[in-house]
Amino acid sequence: MGWLRHQKHALTAALGRLRAQPVSTLLTALAMGVAISLPAVLYLGLGNLGQVAGNLPAQPEISLFLDTRAADAQRAAIAARLKQPDIAEARFVPRDEALAALSAAQGLADISAGLTQNPLPDAWVVRPQATSRESLTRVADELGKLPGVAETHLDSLWADRLQAALAIGRAGVWLLASLFAIALIAISGNAIRAQVLARRDEILVSRLIGATDRYIRRPFLYLGALQGLLGGLAAIGVLAIAGAILRAPVERLAALYGSTFHLLAPTPVEIGAVLALTAAFGWIGAWLSVTRALQQVEAAR
């Protein structure tokens, strides 16, 4: 019957304790905020890097060289296949255009001038919808089996390198996030420990007149979660300030490269996740701290 009342009571008590010590509350929130903002900055940086990579022309491409003896019907069938939805873009390069491009390229004009006839085949440059290594290979294999296709060449090196780099980055984010989650638990645990010590008498008296451990623990858990939440808000504040400082120079650099690149802000879901996680880790820190303190207080009596 008293469960909801106990929760409300504990929440009110926790809010009161936060308000009673505004300076230490603020300092703890700042320490948490700075700790959490580091992996958050890395995470957002990776997101932005992914956006840059997405805008680069060097996309994973499949070059499709046609058999010089391919019949018109086969060519039409290939063109039809390349209009299907798994292909993002397909560009036909006639052999004359390819030769012209080759002649225009510096240092190759001499070679092409020596040719008596055009040795180049007609070609398609294909950009598939999916960019993972497996799907690229699969599409390339399938296209290579079409009648009239002499050879396919998968230019996946760039894609592989990007994937590998992003994988390291993502692993780094998780590693850093785990480390700072531990730091967050430690910060919260320490802040709550101070609170527990300051309330030693209350804990002792409450135990003596019939309080359960849960009853005693509850306001401290709320305190930890609220403190964590404030830490999360501080982290988002740090990100907002960092974004405001970096925006102008980044966009100027992008403009010099002729790009319309903008810094990506965290989405509401990401902000929500940061707040939920900091609150959760604040709670865990409080739980560890108050459980330990309960045992000590009891033993020291």
Partner 1 sequence: MINFSQVTKRYPGGHEALSAVNLSIEQGELVFLIGHSGAGKSTLLKLIAAIERPTSGMVTLSGQNVGRLTRLAVPYLRRNIGLVFQDHKLLFDRSVIDNVMLPLDIAGFDRREAIKRARAVIDKVGLLMREKANPVSLSGGEQQRLCIARALVSRPALLLADEPTGNLDAGYAADIMAMFRDFHQVGTTLVIATHDDRAISALGGRTLRLDHGRIEEVAA
Residues at the site binding partner 1, with contacts judged by CB under 8 A:
1-3, 5-6, 9, 201-202, 204-213, 215, 301
Going along the chain, which residue ranges are E strands? 61-66, 87-93, 123-128, 149-155
**CB of 174 within 8 A of CB of 74?**
no
What is the nearest approach in angstroms of partner 1 to the Cβ of residue 196?
Answer: 14
Q: Which is nearer to partner 1, 113 or 208 (CB)?
A: 208
Q: Which is nearer to partner 1, 141 or 202 (CB)?
A: 202
Q: Which is nearer to partner 1, 5 or 69 (CB)?
A: 5
Q: Which is nearer to partner 1, 22 or 57 (CB)?
A: 22
What is the nearest approach in angstroms of partner 1 to the Cβ of residue 211?
Answer: 5
What is the nearest approach in angstroms of partner 1 to the Cβ of residue 9?
Answer: 6
Q: Which is nearer to partner 1, 23 or 208 (CB)?
A: 208
Based on its alpha-carbon atoms, the radius of gyration of the chain, rounded to whole angstroms, reads 31
* C-beta atoms surrounding 5 within 10 Å: 9
Report d(CA 244, CA 264) in Å as an integer: 12
Report d(CA 197, CA 193) in Å as an integer: 6
What is the nearest approach in angstroms of partner 1 to the Cβ of residue 222?
Answer: 15
Q: What six digits make up the tokens of 269? A: 């879901």
Query: 264 in helix, strand or coil?
Result: coil
> How many Cα atoms sit within 13 Å of 183 on the Cβ side?
19
Q: Which is nearer to partner 1, 118 or 206 (CB)?
A: 206
Looking only at the bridges linking them, the beta strands covering 149-155 and 61-66 are antiparallel
What is the nearest approach in angstroms of partner 1 to the Cβ of residue 289?
Answer: 19
What is the nearest approach in angstroms of partner 1 to the Cβ of residue 7?
Answer: 11
**Could you give phi then psi for residue 291, rounded to 5 degrees?**
-65, -45
Residue 65 forms beta bridges with which residues? 123, 151
